[in-house]
Amino acid sequence: MKARFVAVVTALAAALGFAGAPAATAADTYALTVTVLSGTGKPLSSELVEVWVAGSDPSVDANSDGIPDARVAVGNTSSEGGIQFRAIAEGDFTVRVTSPYDWNATYDAPVTIAGGPVSISVIDQHVATVSGTVRDAVTGKGVPWAEVSGYSTGSNSYLDARADAKGAFTALVRTATYSVQAVADDYRTDNLRTTITVHDGADLAGADLRIYSTSWVGGRVTLGGKGLDSLVWFGDVPSHSSPTGVFHEQVEPGVSVSPWVESGSSNFRTYLGNTVRKPDAKKVSVSLGRSVTNADIALVRTATVTGTVVNRNGKPAKRATVEAQSVGRAGSAKATTDSKGRYTLRGLPSGKVTISVWGGTRAVPAHGVTTLTAQQGHKVAASRLTLSRDAIAYGRIKTTGSRVSKQDVTVTTSKGVWLGTFRPDAEGWVGVAGLSAGTYYVHVDGSNLRKKVVVKAHTVVDFGVISRGKQVTVKGVVRTANGQPAVGARIAVVDSHGTTYGVVRTNAKGAYSLTGAVSGRYTVTAKPKSGTDAWTSASVTVTKGRALTQSLRFGKGATVTGVVLNSKGKPAIGVRVETLDGRSAKTNASGVYAITGARAGRTEIRVSDPSYVGGYRDAYTTATAKAGRTVRAKTVSVR
């Protein structure tokens, strides 16, 4: 490659008569010093310098040793830009400099060695110095140890440098226009590139680069004021905190996040803002190049209930199933007793809790129940539970036309309070234990058959045999309020005692068919799968052994709207609001709800928070719905 250069040659030869000129060696060799400089006089290190016999063929290698015969010396310049060859014979030579900064461009300089050492300087006009500082785009401070890189597509040249502890960098480059970028630990890799132009014969100073640091959200997880090693979740991304609870996770600038922690059954899932409810969680977002370090989360503790279970003889009940159910709010737990009848229930919210234990056999189950008040962050001991503490009622069910083991049997109090639904064994035997003295009814579900059972404390009562006849089919077509087939409607045939054998859904033509009725008065109920129609029902009489056809049509539904607020008077977001007929909606960000398809008439409205254990307690209000119209219910407050 032909390139511009400036060569300065100094010959110190005795023949010129200078005092002190060194004498030639026996072989008449002298030192040759080559210095390579940039166009602005900066020494260029790592330049490849070769000394060739002038006019020679560089490809000749007579002895095949890989060294061209005409090359008499080779080496690289030092950090001062120079190299000295100590023994070059007299003669005419070509000094060839290959520049790594100039895409291996070569610079040839003729030199004659005659009677003394020679010094030659080669100036590369196409190389200059670029200097600047890599700075934080937000704080303006230097970024230590940043890596600077750039490229020039026009000349296939590159720029590479490493900043010092203060972010300053210097690089020797070929003169060209570069697209430059800097990267560093804890800084973004997609920072914008900067364009710089380096001209022949001029260094470029002040080529500062600004980069944005990665954005982080950090904080500390605590339990009772002490740091806790745990997983902190950012959506589906986990971040492991330190043993002292400190965490931080890289996030995308401008995107709102709400980290949460779930740490064992003794603590609720807790969101930023120290709430157990996701809709109430605080959100945090960071701007480009900035971070948040105070997203602290204090875990909310659950309540724990312990106790023991014994059988009627007072001995520990092993492997009994113990269940806890919060009253008036979401919350449940389940455990199995150990060899000493002990159990521990965790994960419960504060408030009244019903504790039930189940044992015995499938046909004759044993049962015990107690209540207590749980308190979050505390362990409460329940009173001892006794299986089959009171009376047992049992008997036999017989069925015609179907297997008895598929027939549900429900036990209620004399006031209609449901106690449980059971299925007989293959021979029809079924029983219930743990009954207090009183009057009960044993229902053969969906058959209009029931039997009154009176029990005394600590007795076993045989209620005898209940025979159910052959089931018949109730069928029909359900239509919408507009007369169209009601697809997917839920159909139940309920007997006069409020029990049913099963439910079905209508097909694409709105038709249904349900086999389960026996004889007597029934109510056929139909509830739409969706939409604004209201559910409907029809009273029918089934004659023993005869099928029945009953079609129904939905009426126009009402819309019930309202607002739910929390104890601070702010919107209760994401709570469930439902009418007695099963129509429901969730509150929006303003605490507003709108229930469509409500049946006309006065209805009780229940507000609950089933999705969040430890969330809001149940609350109630009423409204009078009017078909085809919108009514507003009273504002409800939850706590």
Write the pLDDT tens digit of every residue in 509-568. 999 999 999 999 999 999 999 899 999 999 999 999 999 999 999 999 999 999 999 999
| pLDDT-derived band at 402, boundaries 50, 70, 90 | very high
Residues in the chain: 639
Q: Is the pLDDT of residue 434 over 80?
A: no
Residue indicated by tokens 């209940």: 466
Burial class (CB in 10 A: 0-12, 13-18, 19+), 544: exposed
Q: What confidence category does residue 263 fall into, taking pLDDT thresholds of 50, 70 and 90?
A: confident
Region 446-460 average pLDDT: 93
pLDDT at 23: 42
Task: Give the Cα separation of 577 and 608 in Å (integer).
Answer: 7
Q: Are β-strands 342-348 and 332-336 bridged in parallel, bridged antiparallel, or unpaired?
A: unpaired
Q: How far is the C-alpha of 122 from the C-alpha of 83, rounded, in Å?
A: 12
Numbered ranges of CATH 2.60.40.10 in the chain? 7-124, 127-211, 391-468
pLDDT at 1: 39
Least confident of 21-25, 570-574, 588-592, 616-620: 21-25
Closest by CA position to 221, among listed 251, 265, 262: 262
Contact 391, 462 (CB under 8 A): no
Q: How confident is the model at residue 388 (pLDDT cuts 50, 70, 90)?
A: low
Judge whether residue 397 has pLDDT over 50.
yes
pLDDT of 11 over the 60 cut: no
Please provide the CATH number assigned to the domain covering 215-298: 2.60.40.1120
- Nearest of 333, 358, 328 to residue 346 by alpha carbon: 333
- Tokens 């190299």 correspond to 83
Compute the average pLDDT of residues 38-60.
92
pLDDT digits (tens, 9 = 90+) for 50-73: 999 999 998 898 888 888 999 999
* Mean pLDDT confidence for 424-446: 92
* Weakest mean pLDDT among 27-31, 402-406, 452-456: 27-31
- Give the number of other Cβ atoms within 10 Å of residue 438's Cβ: 15
What pLDDT band is residue 20 in, cutting at 50, 70 and 90?
Answer: very low
Confidence of residue 411 (pLDDT cuts 50, 70, 90): very high
Q: Which has more confidence, 369 or 301?
A: 301
Position 313 confidence tier, pLDDT thresholds 50, 70, 90: confident
pTM reported for the whole predicted model: 0.75
Tell me how far apart the alpha carbons of residues 631 and 579 are, in angstroms, rounded to a whole number: 13
Instruction: Please count the CA atoms within 13 angstroms of the CA of 600 that sit on its side-chain side.
Output: 10
pLDDT confidence bin for 581, thresholds 50/70/90: confident
Tell me where in the chain the CATH 2.60.40.1120 domain(s) lie.
215-298, 303-386, 472-555, 558-637
> Which of 176, 168, 196 is CA-nearest to residue 101?
176
Which helix (H) or strand (E) element contains residue 225? Answer: none
Tell me the Cα Rg of the chain. Answer: 45
- 93-128 pLDDT tens trace: 999 999 887 666 788 999 999 999 999 999 988 899
- What is the CATH superfamily name and number for domain 472-555? Carboxypeptidase-like, regulatory domain (2.60.40.1120)
Q: What percent of the chain is modeled with pLDDT above 90?
A: 82
d(CA 324, CA 378): 16
- The angle subtended at Cα 131 by Cα 130 and Cα 136, nearest 5°, is 130
Q: CATH 2.60.40.10: does it fit domain 127-211?
A: yes
- Asked if residues 347 and 330 have their Cβ atoms less than 8 Å apart, the reply is no
- CATH architecture assignment, domain 391-468: Sandwich (2.60)
- Confidence bin at 10 (pLDDT 50/70/90): very low
Angle 452-454-459 from CA coordinates, rounded to 5°: 135
DSSP per position, 329-372: SS-EEEEE--TTSEEEEEEEPSEEEEEEEEEE-SSSEEEEEEEE
pLDDT at 21 over 70: no
Between 39 and 359, the more confident residue is: 39
Q: Which of 29-33, 63-67, 308-312 has the lowest mean pLDDT?
A: 63-67
Pairwise pLDDT comparison (608 vs 436), residue with the higher score: 608
Are β-strands 231-234 and 237-240 bridged in parallel, bridged antiparallel, or unpaired? Answer: antiparallel
Per residue in 173-213, pLDDT tens? 989 999 999 999 999 999 999 999 999 989 999 999 999 99
Would you give the distance in Å from CA 116 to the centre of its chain? 79
- Please tell me the predicted confidence (pLDDT) of residue 363: 52
Tell me which architecture the domain covering 303-386 has in CATH.
Answer: Sandwich (2.60)
pLDDT at 410 over 80: yes
Query: Hey, what CATH topology would domain 7-124 get?
Result: Immunoglobulin-like (2.60.40)
Q: For 137-242, list the strands marked E by DSSP.
A: 147-152, 157-162, 168-174, 177-183, 194-197, 209-211, 215-223, 226-227, 231-234, 237-240
Note the pLDDT tens digit of each residue in 231-247: 999 999 999 999 999 99
Mean pLDDT of the chain: 91
In tens, the pLDDT along 325-360 reads 999 999 999 999 999 999 999 999 999 999 999 876
pLDDT score of 362 more than 80: no
CATH number of 558-637: 2.60.40.1120
Q: How far is CA 579 from each of CA 191, 327, 486, 532, 601, rounded to the nearest angstrom?
A: 55, 19, 21, 14, 11
